[in-house]
Amino acid sequence: MPTIVWGASKDPKHDQAVKAKIYTFLDKLSDDDTVPGLHIEPMQQPVDSRVRTGRVDIHWRAVLFKLEPMGGEPTYVYAGTWHHDEAIKRARTTSLSMNPVNGLAVFRQEVEAFDAVAEPPTEVATAVAAIRTASPLLSELGFFVTDLTEEFGFDQETAEAAFRVQGEEELLDFASGLDNAWQADVLVAMGAGTALHLIKSELRLDEPIVTDPTADDDTRLLEALRHPAAQMQFTFIDDTEELRRVIEGGDFGAWRVFLHPEQREHVEKPRNGSFRLTGGAGTGKTVVLLHRARHLAQLDPEARIVLTTFTRALAENLRRDLERLDPDIRFATKLGEPGILVRGVDQIASDVRALAGGDSYGDVALQVIGSTRDSTALAAEMDWKSALHEAGDALPISLRSEAFFEGEYTQIVLPHGIHDLDDYLTVRRPGRGVALDRSRRTAVWRVVEQARKNHRIAGALSFAEVAAVSAEWLRRSGRSVADHVLVDEAQDLVPSKWKLLRALVAEGPDDLFIADDTHQRIYGQPIVLKRYGIAVRGRSRRLTLNYRTTLENLRYAMGILAGVEYEDSEAEGVTTDGYRSSRSGPKPASRSTKSDAGQFDAIAEDVKRWIDDGVKPETIAILSASNTASKKVQQALGQRGIGVALLNAPRIIGGQPVAMTMHTAKGMEFSRVVLFDVSDGSFPPSAAYKGVPDEEKPDLDKRFRSLLYVAASRARDELVVTWKGAPSHLLIGD
């Protein structure tokens, strides 16, 4: 039976009817390539004798390369499907060969054939239209044509064309027209000023392809198709379901098949201990996490794998995407079972509480929070407002803040297991901006005691308390409930939840795999992982290539963070240097108005234009700072003839544009995004700073910057920002 290798190509965007025919054709081909109805035919005088075409239907033909390794079954590399005449032209002028420098498998279309090609030309001809008189970008960055030809094996014509391109946006457009994904990535990285040796390392081009020198050419070419950089573009199809997923996935589903070599390394490489993967929004951290969970499950089907994240809703999205990645994945239904258990962190904590049982859990609760709670205790957040009213008279006005007490409790009191005033008076408080002398600590403790008393009377535990007690129960019981734990959106977790994650799995190889982005921390305070028994120093890596947003949107989002210092979970400074995008698009648009009505008019005009242009309505999102503002958007656009779905959880609804808060949009992406009312006085909302101690306001500023960065980076293609009066001081260039 022939093997099918899918090669991501620049073929036309096919509708579902044609996709179905392509699937049927390739499915039959994988069963028997001698079936007469497939019409697998060689070309007359092609540039590559391996090329074939096959009949998809009377109008469409597939372009294939047939490899016949000695002693093995034939392999067909699928290069795309075009209308009959176009397919014939491409088949005659395209070759599949090994790059002379690094040995990778590459498509190559002969330059002289471009005049005869009906589709917009790729590679060289794309760049010819971009020739300008100004100094070329790559030359200005200190690169040479020989860097492409001698270091990466580009052909001379393509290399020279790349060096005629001026701006970064033009370079992205040029790169997107190349037939080989790894070559496009080389140019994108060079355009961002990345050193050649780093580009080679990221693409794993510094790892030679090892083949038997006595092997025939087709066998060597098959090995070249398996290199990590080649697998950005070529994937070996194992079964018909995988074939269907590849064909039907489209651009939004490409992550399920094609991984960047750097991503693939993080998916497959075994680790000696805990590992941290960081990177900006859209760099593929979650994609790596999903693939790694699947990879670990394939290595050991009996492994107990926990895949978790900040909220239940985000966990549901992870499970949905994992099912899309592999419908045959084995899911666990409860903690401790073989398979992949996908839960929010709070759900995991509740699972441990149920596992412990009432008396056992209550005994541990006595040690952790100073009073017993059994497994039936209600999960509810601490009521700091009531506690302040009842016991906060001795506090200065500057400390009568619910946000301060929530942070003090989750960052200091719970992690240190403090039960009484004496312990609180002596505990160190690293990372807390507000200094407390003895009298202030005493006044603070009275409020903490009152809140705990109120919670005890109500028979409740806060979510952070459930995590703390569950972590301690696991530690004391010595129970092993997981072999691998993978954590997404880790930057927003409080210490007690880190202690829980540490307790779920014993220290050892591939125990914890953590994905985070310090710049996306929109809840809680910074933490340092080593304080909770998680050592990742020397085992941290950063992704820098953005797959979601265009270069223009990325620059805008990164600009929001400019000039502000951030520290990560290793207590080290975080940089945005090196982040780059693989796509170009329109610059973000600003809509300056005089009123809310003006903002709504502008948004309605943009949304109607997008829909008239064929954009799917459900891929359009209007993001606001609050639920109240999102409801106003829904009502106002409804009055302007645009139905809008109001979402309070990160989920997909078909048929309508969506309105939601910026917080809710975390973890989602849309083709078009509007940021509503980013106005001076509205964003950040002044009410959020009420009662916050002056020492904590800088960190709150950072979180609102991060929130705006998260919101702006949800946009794949177009970003629009509206305000009334003056824009927020967090915006740049306006």
Distance from C-alpha of 581 to C-alpha of 552, rounded to nearest angstrom:
9
The rounded mean pLDDT for the chain is 90
- pLDDT at position 583 is 86
The structure tokens listed for 709 are: 């960065």
- Model confidence at 507, in pLDDT bands (50, 70, 90)? very high
Among 663, 668, 669, 676, CA closest to 635: 676
Q: Is the predicted pLDDT of residue 732 greater than 70, yes or no?
A: no
Q: Is the predicted pLDDT of residue 533 greater than 50, yes or no?
A: yes
Please state which of the ranges 100-104, 111-115, 555-559, 666-670 shows the lowest mean pLDDT.
Answer: 111-115
Containing H/E element for 441?
A: helix 438-457
Entry pTM: 0.88
- pLDDT at position 134 is 60
Instruction: Kindly state the average pLDDT of the residues 448-455.
Output: 95
Residue 181, class by beta-carbon neighbours within 10 Å (0-12 exposed, 13-18 middle, 19+ buried)? buried
- Render 194-239 in DSSP notation, one character per residue: --HHHHHHHHTTTSPPP--TTS-HHHHHHHHHTSTTGGGTEEEE-S
Tell me how far the alpha carbon of residue 341 is from its chain's centroid.
20
Instruction: Kindly state the average pLDDT of the residues 195-211.
Output: 89
C-beta of residue 308 within 8 angstroms of C-beta of residue 470: no
Distance from C-alpha of 699 to C-alpha of 656, rounded to nearest angstrom:
36
- Model confidence at 112, in pLDDT bands (50, 70, 90)? very low
Is the model more confident about 42 or about 240?
42
Among 584, 628, 646, CA closest to 176: 584
Q: Could you tell me which residues are beta bridge partners of residue 308?
A: 343, 487
- Model confidence at 646, in pLDDT bands (50, 70, 90)? very high
Looking at residue 303, what DSSP letter applies? -
In angstroms, the first-to-last Cα distance of the chain is 61
The per-residue pLDDT for range 149-169, each reduced to its tens digit, is: 999 999 999 999 999 999 899
Distance from C-alpha of 662 to C-alpha of 665, rounded to nearest angstrom:
5
Question: CA triplet 58, 63, 67: central angle to 5 degrees?
Answer: 135
Q: Which residues contact 686 (CB under 8 A, 6 or more apart)?
A: none
Q: Is the predicted pLDDT of residue 131 greater than 60, yes or no?
A: no
Question: CA triplet 113, 118, 120: central angle to 5 degrees?
Answer: 90
Among 127, 132, 128, 57, CA closest to 87: 57
Residue the block writes with tokens 């859209």: 282
Instruction: Kindly state the average pLDDT of the residues 44-53.
Output: 95
Distance from C-alpha of 72 to C-alpha of 69, rounded to nearest angstrom:
5
- pLDDT at position 249 is 65
Instruction: Kindly state the average pLDDT of the residues 590-597.
Output: 96
Among 421, 477, 417, CA closest to 448: 421
The structure tokens listed for 714 are: 């949800």
Q: Is the predicted pLDDT of residue 121 greater than 80, yes or no?
A: no
Distance from C-alpha of 608 to C-alpha of 594, rounded to nearest angstrom:
21
Instruction: Kindly state the average pLDDT of the residues 592-604.
Output: 97
Among 619, 617, 622, 733, CA closest to 677: 622
- pLDDT at position 111 is 57
Peptide bond just before 213 cis, omega within 30 deg: no
SS3 270: coil
Among 26, 44, 419, 408, CA closest to 248: 26
- Label the pairing between strands 378-379 and 620-624: unpaired
Distance from C-alpha of 408 to C-alpha of 492, rounded to nearest angstrom:
16
Tell me how far the alpha carbon of residue 704 is from its chain's centroid.
20
The structure tokens listed for 671 are: 């083709």
The structure tokens listed for 73 are: 């079954």
Q: Could you tell me which residues are beta bridge partners of residue 106?
A: 97
Distance from C-alpha of 332 to C-alpha of 340, rounded to nearest angstrom:
5
SS3 277: strand
Please state which of the ranges 61-75, 147-161, 438-452, 518-532 shows the lowest mean pLDDT.
Answer: 518-532
Distance from C-alpha of 236 to C-alpha of 242, rounded to nearest angstrom:
9
- pLDDT at position 420 is 93
The structure tokens listed for 380 are: 């509810």
Amino acid at 135: S
- Model confidence at 114, in pLDDT bands (50, 70, 90)? very low
Instruction: Kindly state the average pLDDT of the residues 515-540.
Output: 89
- Model confidence at 253, in pLDDT bands (50, 70, 90)? low
C-beta of residue 28 within 8 angstroms of C-beta of residue 38: yes
The per-residue pLDDT for range 213-248, each reduced to its tens digit, is: 789 999 999 999 999 999 999 999 888 877 887 887
Task: Please state, as a whole number, how many other Cβ atoms lie within 10 Å of the Cβ of residue 433.
Answer: 15
Q: Which residues contact 510 (CB under 8 A, 6 or more apart)?
A: 270, 271, 275, 296, 484
The length of the chain is: 734
Please state which of the ranges 408-422, 473-487, 567-581 shows the lowest mean pLDDT.
Answer: 567-581
Q: Which residues contact 423 (CB under 8 A, 6 or more apart)?
A: 416
The per-residue pLDDT for range 615-626, each reduced to its tens digit, is: 999 999 999 999
- pLDDT at position 174 is 93
The structure tokens listed for 327 are: 């419908």
Q: Is the predicted pLDDT of residue 721 greater than 80, yes or no?
A: yes
Please report, rounded to a whole number, the percentage of residues in the chain having pLDDT higher than 90: 72
The structure tokens listed for 274 are: 């805990």
The structure tokens listed for 277 are: 């993967």
